[in-house]
Amino acid sequence: MTIPIIDCHQHLWDLSKVEYAWLVPAYGPLYRTYLPTELEPQIKEAGVSATIMVQSANSYADTVYMLDQADVTPWMIGVVGWTDLLDPADTAKAIERFSKNRYFRGVRHLIHEEPDPHWLLQPAVWESLQLLAAAGYTFDVVATKHEHLECLPTVSEHVPNLRMVIDHMAQPPFQAGELGQWGEDMLAMAANPNIYVKISGLGTASGDWEGWTADSIRT
């Protein structure tokens, strides 16, 4: 029996249709439009059966763009979008709207772009996350530093039925050669049955967008 492979973290962006505030020339090969037509031959070559598209901008325009792409792309089976977590009333409206779309699976906010690393520790955010959890949706966490991860136990206390997914393994310290604080944080996360981790985006952590290998990031 062949087990289908689902890539749970893919990005698409069209610079002519959606604004991505973080995407600047310094990001090198990422700084251009990426469309399904470019991704499709790569996933076929890798033996991937289907993919999940993940939020790239804190905007509804990005979410709608991904949902529209999923609607016409057979191998896209889900979308992790965005809602305004600081506005629970708006989040409630967004959930009502997007729940009608079979591809909508969860929400992500670019917390690593927020000046306050403890952005998740706001009551309004908890209220919005409670709405997500009640509707059965997940929350992706873009954790890039210790302060982001240390928020998650508190979030889990306030929203105990929320399934959280840490993106990109929270940027492991591959270049440091030791696990350090990241390792301690991961042990704490592993103790929570509602926290999951994606093995993704390791080119960023390795410091080499194009030349990194699996061997170079093994610890």
Give yes or no: residues 56 and 3 share one domain. Answer: yes
Q: How many domains does the chain have?
A: 2
* Sequence-separated (6 or more) residues with CB below 8 Å from residue 103: 66, 67, 70, 71, 76, 77, 78, 79
Q: 156 pLDDT exceeds 70?
A: yes
Q: Are residues 102 and 132 in the same domain?
A: yes
Q: Are residues 4 and 40 in the same domain?
A: yes
- 152 and 73 in one domain? no
Helices (H), the chain: 36-46, 60-71, 88-98, 123-134, 146-158, 180-190, 202-206
182 confidence band (pLDDT: 50, 70, 90): confident
Write down the pLDDT at residue 216.
58
Find the mean pLDDT for residues 163-167. 96
pLDDT, residue 25, reads 92
Q: What pLDDT does 62 receive?
A: 97
Is the pLDDT at 7 greater than 60? The verdict is: yes
Model confidence band, residue 2 (pLDDT cutoffs 50, 70, 90): confident
Q: Are residues 114 and 152 in the same domain?
A: yes
Q: What confidence score (pLDDT) does residue 64 get?
A: 98
**Same domain? 116 vs 78:** no
Same domain for 111 and 215, yes or no, is yes
Q: Can you give the pLDDT at residue 204? A: 65
Same domain, 59 and 93: no
Residue 116 and residue 204 share a domain: yes
CATH number at residue 178: 3.20.20.140
Residue ranges making up the domain that contains 39: 1-82
- Residue ending a domain, among 60, 82, 104, is 82
163 and 115 within one domain: yes
Q: Are residues 206 and 104 in the same domain?
A: yes
Same structural domain, 71 and 178: no
End-to-end CA distance of the chain: 33
Of all residues in the chain, the percent with pLDDT exceeding 70 is: 89
Which amino acid does the sequence have at 77? I
Question: At which of 49, 82, 115 does a domain end?
Answer: 82
Domain boundary at 82, 109, 144, which? 82
Residue 68: pLDDT over 90? yes
Q: 70-88, pLDDT tens digit by residue?
A: 999 999 999 999 999 999 9
Q: Enter the DSSP assignment of 200.
A: -
What average pLDDT score do residues 45-64 get?
96
Question: Taking the complete model, does pTM exceed 0.85, yes or no?
Answer: yes
